[in-house]
Amino acid sequence: MMKTLLYLLMWPFLHLYSWLLLKLNIRHGGPLPRSPQILVANHPTTVDPFFVAWLAKGPSCILITEHAFKVPLFGAYLRRAGHIPVAIDNGRAAFTAAVAAIKAGRKVIIFPEGDLSPREGFCKAHSGAARLALLTGAPVIPVGIALPWEGMRFRKETFGTETVTSRWPVRTSYAMTMGCALHFSGDADDRAQVAAVTDTIMQHIAALVQQSRLRLRPEHRHGFAPIAADLAG
């Protein structure tokens, strides 16, 4: 009940942020499965986890860097909402928590790059999403996000001895394309198979990013709306 309430409380903030600072353009490849699922996406900005959670249309567990859990108040919100911290030196704990979330019937959101995407291309993908899909049998829903690089604002954040740069989209277009469910089966301990599934997932994300980029072109901008109709309800 608490996780559902906190999920619902997130909506007004996302609506306000979108209305004031973004021009959202969102496309769906098909209806989401009713079963537990794994949503995977590229990661150009700091706010991506929450917009992907918005797409998920229901309470979900986001795998988020442990740095975010150290932010006063916000970190407490993340813990109470059931999101999963990912420690740089202890990814196994996050993976175990993600497996438990899937088995409990929840949706899990993973960014396979494990970091913010570079300006061009992607970071080398981690294998966690592929292993989770093979181990649990949950379908994978790929998402591709694109926005103009010049539409981002950069901010230095310090967490103890660590300094990271966050990226915030401000007064810019922000396009997301959700693909159809991908289904995988096999041995989660087979490295070759895990690598192949990881490559397939990233290929789908890359194709969806390209679709999102095409909708950023000037001839398509007349179709942007402050809040996407399919998310407003």
Neighbours of 137 (CB within 10 A): 13
Residue 128 reports pLDDT greater than 50: yes
For residue 86, the one-letter residue type is V
Q: What is the mean pLDDT of the chain?
A: 87
Calculate the alpha carbon distances from 111 to 9, 42, 57, 62, 92 in Å: 23, 6, 18, 9, 15
**pLDDT classification of 217: cutoffs 50, 70, 90:** confident
Cα 229 to Cα 75: distance, rounded to the nearest angstrom: 30
Query: Domain segments of the chain: what residues?
Result: 2-225
Q: Which residue has the higher pLDDT, 35 or 218?
A: 35
Q: What is the mean predicted confidence (pLDDT) over 217-223?
A: 55
Mean pLDDT over 53-73 rounds to: 86
Q: Determine how many CB atoms are found less than 10 A away from the CB of residue 207.
A: 13
Identify which has the larger pLDDT, 181 or 69: 181
pLDDT of 129? 97
Percentage of the chain lying above the pLDDT 90 cut: 61
Per-residue confidence (pLDDT) for residue 13, from 0 to 100: 82
Beta bridge partners of 155: 166
CA atoms of 79 and 57, how far apart (whole Å): 20
Report d(CA 224, CA 18) in Å as an integer. Answer: 12
pLDDT of residue 190: 97
Provide long-range contacts, Cβ within 8 A and 24+ apart, for 182-189: 182/133, 182/139, 182/140, 182/141, 182/142, 183/139, 183/140, 184/130, 184/133, 184/134, 184/140, 185/134, 185/137, 186/134, 187/134, 188/131, 188/132, 188/134, 188/135
- The pLDDT, as a whole number, for residue 142 is 97
Token readout for 128 is 């966690």
2-225: CATH number: 3.40.1130
Band (pLDDT 50/70/90 cuts) for residue 223 is: very low
Q: What is the pLDDT of residue 227?
A: 34
Q: What is the rounded average pLDDT of the residues 103-131?
A: 95
Give yes or no for a contact between 41 and 175, defined as CB atoms under 8 angstroms apart: no
pLDDT tens digits, one per residue of 182-194: 999 999 999 999 9
